[in-house]
Amino acid sequence: AAGGGEGGNNNMQFSYGTAGFRTKGDLLASTVFRCGALAAVRSHVTGRATGMVITASHNPEPDNGVKLVDSNGGMLPLAWEHHAEALANADGPEAMRAVLEALLAGGDSNEGGGEGHHHASATSTSSPSSHGA
């Protein structure tokens, strides 16, 4: 599903699932940017690396996806999936800022380790539009 803030598609909502966010590649740039911001904030808050993967996975050719990966290579914890949805569906810069500032203020100090973030991507025809984000 597409999400708020995607170039006027405010009536569409993103839902984060096992495969992260998936939609038409040309609608994903804002969400890729937002996931990058969330990965950076999560790395800062937890003190551990958070990965971000741009992938076409098993989607049809024009589709693409973006997902966040825990420092151990596993799925993003459920609580952070909800944060990802809130950020992806935030209506504009001020709402995005509010989500990120709340995460920075609240923290998630139960997690620790080495700080950093990582990025990987697929080579589908819709991937280049997502890389620009």
Residues with a known catalytic role: 57
Contacting residues for 126 by C-beta, under 8 A, at least 6 apart: 24, 25, 26, 28, 56, 61, 62, 63, 64
The one-letter code for the residue type at 131 is H
C-alpha–C-alpha distance, residues 21 and 120, integer Å: 15
> Rounded to a whole number, what is the largest CA-CA distance in the chain?
40
